[in-house]
């Protein structure tokens, strides 16, 4: 039996981080956790580009453009979509999720989903560096593992 799995070594990997400015406070915490995780796993800050977009809805287009350059091993998408009183949340969250998955399949590189979709700002704070961890870290770890895995398959 042959088994293949990715490792968690970021040394030599080039990553793009696409961050939504909407709910900026949360986005910056996610980015902080993401960059710290990249470096703690051996990644070099010189191998990183950070791209800022207005909101989560715009993330897939920017991810597609940067993935298409062929310069990066993975793209990490970061942001927070927080439910309001209208169905706007559903459209923004659904477009971000399906757009990111489409871009990943089309580009052939890992595009990880580090976008929080929460009912309240408190839930977003909990998932961006307080009691429920930091989704930016998880998304970065996933991207490191997937970039490594794709290199081995
Ligand atoms: N964008 C977000 O990133 N998070 C949100 O919670 C959000 N809400 O709730 O409206 C949001 N809206 C903006 C959207 O992403 C687009 O920037 C806008 O619709 C223009 O295309």
Q: Identify which of 18, 57, 121, 125 to mutate to test ligand 1's pocket (most ligand atoms within 8 A of the CB).
A: 57
Is residue 86 predicted with pLDDT exceeding 90? no
Percent of the chain with pLDDT strictly greater than 90: 97
41 is catalytic: no
Is residue 153 predicted with pLDDT exceeding 90? yes
Domains of the chain listed by start with CATH number: 36-120+131-152 (3.40.50.960)
Average pLDDT over every residue of 119-146: 97
Quickly state the pLDDT bin for 152 (edges 50, 70, 90).
Answer: very high
pLDDT number for residue 147 = 98
Ligand 1 binding pocket includes 145 (Cβ within 6 Å): no
Q: What is the mean pLDDT of the chain?
A: 97
Quickly state the pLDDT bin for 84 (edges 50, 70, 90).
Answer: confident
Catalytic residue among 12, 40, 68, 88: 88
Buried-exposed string 82-111: b where 16+ CB fall within 10 A, e elsewhere: bbeeeeebeebbebbbebbeebbeebebbb
Ligand 1 binding pocket includes 90 (Cβ within 6 Å): no
Task: List pLDDT tens digits, range 91-118.
Answer: 999 999 999 999 999 999 999 999 999 9
Percent of the chain with pLDDT strictly greater than 70: 100
Please state, in angstroms and as integers, the Cα–Cα distance from residue 75 to each residue in 18, 87, 123, following that order: 7, 28, 24
Cβ pair 123, 26 in contact under 8 A: no
């Amino acid at each position: 039996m042959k088994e293949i799995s990715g490792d968690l070594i970021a040394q030599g990997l080039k990553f793009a981080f696409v961050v939504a400015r909407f709910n900026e406070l949360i986005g910056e915490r996610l980015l902080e956790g993401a960059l710290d995780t990249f470096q703690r796993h051996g990644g070099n800050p010189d191998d990183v580009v950070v791209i800022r977009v207005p909101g989560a809805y715009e993330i897939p287009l920017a991810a597609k453009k940067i993935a298409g350059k062929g310069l990066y091993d993975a793209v990490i998408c970061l942001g927070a979509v927080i439910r309001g009183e209208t169905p706007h949340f559903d459209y923004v969250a659904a477009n971000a999720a399906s757009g990111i998955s489409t871009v990943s399949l089309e580009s052939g590189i890992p595009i990880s989903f580090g976008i929080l979709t929460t009912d309240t700002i408190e839930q977003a704070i909990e998932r961006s560096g307080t009691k429920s961890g930091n989704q930016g870290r998880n998304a970065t770890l996933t991207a490191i593992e997937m970039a490594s895995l794709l290199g081995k398959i």
